[in-house]
Amino acid sequence: MSFNDNNRAGLSRRTLLHAGAGLAGSMMLPVSIISPASAASDQPAMGTWPAGSQGDTVYIGATVPRTGAYAVQGEDELKGMQLAVEHINEGNDLLKQIAPKIDKGVLGKKVELIVADSAAKPNNAVQSQQTFINDKKIIAMTGATSSAVAVALNKFAQREKILYLVAISGSNDTTGKDCARYSFRQCVYGETCANAIGPVLVKNFGKGKKAAFMTPDYTYGHTVTKSVNDYLTSQGGWEMVTNQISPLGTQDFSQYLTNIANSGAEFIVNVNWGRDAVLSVQQAKQFGLTPTMKMVIPYQIPFLAKEVGPDLTEGVFAATDFWWTMEDKFPLAKAFVESFQKKYNYRPEWGAENAYMQFAIWARMVSEAGTFYPPDVIKQYEKGETFPSMVGDVKFRPEDHQLIRPVVIVRGKAAKDMKNEEDFWDVVEIVPGEGLMQKPDAFGCQLGDYT
Amino acid sequence: MINWANFISQCFNGLVLGALLALISSGLTIIYGTLGVLNLAHGAMFMLGGYAGWVAYDYTGSFIVALIAGSLFVMLVGVLMERLIIRYFYTRPQEDQILVTFGLGIVFVEAVRFFFGSLSKTVPPPALFQGITNLGFMVYPTYRLASLGIVTVALLALYLVLYRTRIGMIVRAGIEDSVMVGSLGIDVYKVFMLVFGIGAMAAGFAGIVNAPVVSIAPDVGEAILVQTFVVVVIGGVGSFPGALLGGIIAGEIISITSMFNPGYAYVMLFVAMTLVLVFRPHGLLGTAGRE
């Protein structure tokens, strides 16, 4: 017994000594790594700070879908990002109107974009961003399309303490129950689109209609369908006669469309996106559902009209972020459309515009904050200052990091009314954002910590 | 929507889908049955058919030409693939065969993406089959009806080749025992090449027929490959009638389940496959001992 006691006492003393030495060592380690300049006590090292912004260049990691059902939209998004980076680095006038303090780069650093294909899959996106963090010490991440990716990167951003600039993401959850302190969204989303397009539908088609919904089976689809249905049932007395839920990447919609054909619906509210939307719109026509049933697109798909042709989008109402003819109304939009078209030979769709704006806003926030230190940049966003955009003046809502911005309602033009080969949509209404949004806590947003 | 009209409509959908799956699966099953190679590039053959047909259509404006040129092109790709790569893998372990065909599949998909982009391409149905037909219980796209006919004719042609010609007899004998066929003095390797070509062509042909229905994109073959495997497992490896039966069963399961809840369509398909594997491990019409 006494032997045991002695033994235990000896072990614990030795362990204590080891632990003490280890602790002392580990406490010394960060001090020796951090350079004196950035070791200010109020800006402790975190994520890729300060290592990521110590060179001449800062890197932003982009994971966009370049393959799969959302590939077309991903490429457009990427072009918007590339143009923005180019404009930041050359101190372009357009970008300076949004971010006045940039000067051939941000805070004296060039910005470089590194890109990986997410295939619209959350795992791929997170893995690539992790690689970017390890290899390039990226100071911000971007890219979504698939809200499933956005939600995953939200959580990843919060954990890694690296800013995430959400690209295309329509789910309520992105700035709702899955919001994050480190994440910011500039585009429109399910709830705002529903509240913007709902009144237009009720006004144009009347009350008490029957609608069939087509919903892709993930966070984006379910939240958009819910928001639209909530509005139409409560404000218009519409009825959802069927909700056809399909997996992302569905090619043959015959089963779903057959169910809709037998449902007695007068409207098809098509929430599908990317190629799923293209195929479902084409096949709805093949099955003779449209134009007898009217198609409604609550969350616009870039290139939909280009891919299916104006005959299928004629008369279709859609809610969107941006359409290029808004250049007539907003000078920034005009400058953007011109400069994009010059570089890429087509007029930008809303994915590109959204991506460009994300980066312009980021450049503004960092240059205004005067530092890359993430909590300070976040606080700059959270000041909620008003700044110009391609859709007029906008500001961030500090409680959930959602941009307060208008939703654009468009209606498909007939082929004979098109003034050029990309004149697919008429802008019917630009609905101010404030009245469209839910209360900041209504979708359960809890932002999380700064550090 | 659970009513008779919808039930009959969905059964019909199942038949159209099933026939298409049967055609693609028959290509996969005769290749695996004869050569013992599980061709994971089979989905890519389906995709290549669609693109070859689209290119041919773009040049000539004729759907018939697209159909013929497209299938011959995919047959040629199949033959080249067998001659240049696959034949070196006959004696290698099955894992190597799976890896090499899987890799080839990726190469084909990315090559097509490189040359044609990710934007989906539309092949319009031939003028004769445009519009919709009223079947009484539902209106149906005329082209989908026609595609059922075209696929049925193709399956019939495949049947005649396999069961009414000398070469078909050799192929069927090869499925049962290729070593024995070799010892009888028949050049099995020439037969293997032909089988690979015909198998690929079946998928390519289906790809063209399906193009006007769904429009084509580089990854159009991925989803169909999985369904095709299920069909082969249900029907029985190496069995042409099995591919037919498996195709129809799979098509009907997907369609009829969709009537109740589309979310469970593939769950039910895999449940069916599991049941077959438990109670008839060689498939409904398969025979023990076939590789």
Nearest-angstrom CA–CA distance, B276 and B242: 12
Provide CATH code, domain A51-189+330-405. 3.40.50.2300
* Strand stretches in A330-406, DSSP E: 387-389, 392-397, 402-404
Task: Compute CA B173 distance to the chain's CA centroid, rounded to the nearest angstrom.
Answer: 22
Q: Which residue carries 């769709």 as its tokens?
A: A349
**What is the structure's pLDDT at A33?**
43
Q: Is the pLDDT of residue A238 over 50?
A: yes
Angstrom distance (rounded) from CA B150 to CA B142: 12
pLDDT in tens, A66-80: 888 899 899 999 999
CA dist., res. A78 & res. B172, Å (int):
52
Residues whose CB is less than 8 angstroms from the CB of residue A439 and which lie 6 or more positions away in sequence, other chains included: none
**Taking residues A248-263, what's their average pLDDT?**
91
Q: Measured between CB atoms, does B233 come within 8 Å of chain A?
A: no
Q: Select from A148, A183, A144 the least CA-distant residue to A163.
A: A183
Per-residue pLDDT, averaged over B16-25, amounts to 95
Tell me which of A121, A259, A306, A345 to substitute to probe the interface with B (most B C-beta atoms closer than 10 Å).
A259
Is A66 within 8 Å of B118 when comparing Cβ atoms? yes
Partners of residue B9 in chain A, C-beta under 8 Å: 258, 261-262
Return the residue of A nearest to B260 by Cα: A259
Question: Which single residue is written with the structure tokens 């089976």?
Answer: A217
Write out pLDDT tens, residues A362-372: 999 999 999 99
Peptide linkage before A291 cis (omega within 30 of 0): yes
The model's confidence at residue A18, banded by pLDDT at 50, 70 and 90, is low
For residue B217, what pLDDT band results from cuts at 50, 70 and 90? confident
In the three-class reduction of DSSP (H, G, I as helix; E, B as strand; rest coil), residue A214 is classed as strand
The residues of A whose Cβ lies within 8 A of any Cβ of B are: 66-68, 71-72, 75, 217, 242, 244-247, 249, 251-252, 254-256, 258-259, 261-263, 275, 278-279, 282-283, 286-288, 303, 307
Residue with tokens 């180019």: A86
Is there a contact between B1 and A262 if contact means CB atoms under 8 Å apart?
Answer: yes
Output the pLDDT for position B290: 55
Mean pLDDT over each residue of chain B, to the nearest integer: 91
pLDDT category, A28, cuts 50, 70, 90? very low
Whether A258 contacts B6, CB under 8 Å: yes
Which positions in chain A touch B1 (Cβ < 8 Å)?
242, 259, 262-263
Specify the pTM.
0.85
Interface contact B130, partner A, CB < 8 A: no
Q: What mean pLDDT is predicted for residues A130-143? A: 96
Amino acid identity of residue A425, one-letter, is W
Domain residue spans of chain B: 10-220
Q: Which residues of B touch A246 (CB under 8 A)?
A: 262
Encoded tokens for A357: 């704006």
pLDDT at position B127, please?
Answer: 86
C-alpha span between A275 and A70 (Å, rounded): 6
Q: pLDDT band for position A17 (50/70/90)?
A: very low
| B149-187: pLDDT as tens digits | 999 999 999 999 999 999 889 888 888 888 888 888 888
Burial (0-12, 13-18, 19+ Cβ within 10 Å), B183: exposed
Q: Which amino acid is at A168?
A: I
Residue A98 CB partners (closer than 8 Å, separation 6+): A332, A357, A360, A361, A363, A364, A387, A388, A389
Interface probe for B, chosen from A246, A255, A282, A303 (most Cβ of B below 10 Å), is: A255
Closest-CA distance of chain B to residue A137, Å = 30
Mean pLDDT of B222-241: 92
From the list A71, A249, A259, which residue is nearest B118 (CB)?
A71
User: Is the pLDDT at A29 greater than 70, yes or no?
Assistant: no
A307:B265 CB<8 A: no
pLDDT band at residue B215, thresholds of 50, 70 and 90? Answer: confident
For chain A, the average pLDDT equals 91
Which of A269, A200, A262, A189 has its CA nearest to residue A229? A269
DSSP B236: -
Q: Distance (Å, rounded) from C-alpha B25 to C-alpha B254?
A: 16
Residue A371 CB partners (closer than 8 Å, separation 6+): A43, A107, A377
Answer whether residue A30 shows pLDDT above 60.
no
- For the cut 80, the answer to whether the pLDDT of residue B33 exceeds it is yes
Q: Count other C-beta atoms under 10 Å from residue B173's C-beta.
A: 17
* Residue A93 C-alpha, separation from nearest chain B C-alpha, in angstroms: 33
ipTM, 2 dp: 0.84
User: Cα separations (Å) of A152 from A35, A127, A267?
Assistant: 33, 11, 33
Contact criterion met (CB < 8 Å) for A256 and B262:
yes
Sequential DSSP letters for B174-201 = HHHHHHHHHHTT--HHHHHHHHHHHHHH
pLDDT classification of B207: cutoffs 50, 70, 90 = very high
Query: Which residue has tokens 């923005």?
Result: A84
- Inter-chain residue contact B120 with A307, CB threshold 8 Å: yes
Flag if B118 and A251 touch (Cβ within 8 Å).
no
Mean pLDDT of A237-262: 93
Residue B148 touches partner A, C-beta closer than 8 Å? no
Residue range(s) of every CATH 3.40.50.2300 domain in chain A: 51-189+330-405, 191-324
Does B215 contact A287 at a Cβ distance shorter than 8 Å? no
> How far does the CA of residue A406 sit from the closest CA of chain B (Å)?
29
Record the tokens describing residue A213, joined without a space: 């919904």
Q: CB-CB: which of A66, A244, A279 is closest to B215?
A: A279
A19 has pLDDT over 70: no
- Per-residue pLDDT of B84-123, as tens digits, reads 999 999 889 989 999 999 999 999 999 999 999 877 788 8
- Across the range A407-417, mean pLDDT stands at 97
Token pair for A444: 């359960």
Question: Given CB atoms, is B139 within the 8 Å cutoff of chain A?
Answer: yes
Least confident window among A159-173, B2-16, B95-109, B241-255: B2-16
Is B182's Cβ below 8 Å from some Cβ in A? no
Please name the amino acid found at residue A163: L
Between CA B206 and CA A154 the distance in angstroms is 42
Render pLDDT for A93-105 as a digit per residue (tens, 0 to 9): 999 999 999 999 9
pLDDT of residue B289: 61
Angle (deg, nearest 10), helices B42-60 and B220-235: 130
- Smallest CA–CA distance, residue A307 to chain B, in Å, is 8
Section A37-65 average pLDDT:
86
Indicate if the pLDDT at residue B66 is higher than 70.
yes
Chain A residues closer than 8 Å to B16 by CB: 254
Tell which of B113, B119, B228 to mutate to test the A interface (max A CBs under 10 Å): B119
| A423-444 pLDDT, tens digit each | 999 999 999 999 999 999 899 9
* Superfamily in which the A191-324 domain is placed by CATH: Response regulator (3.40.50.2300)
pLDDT for residue B223: 84
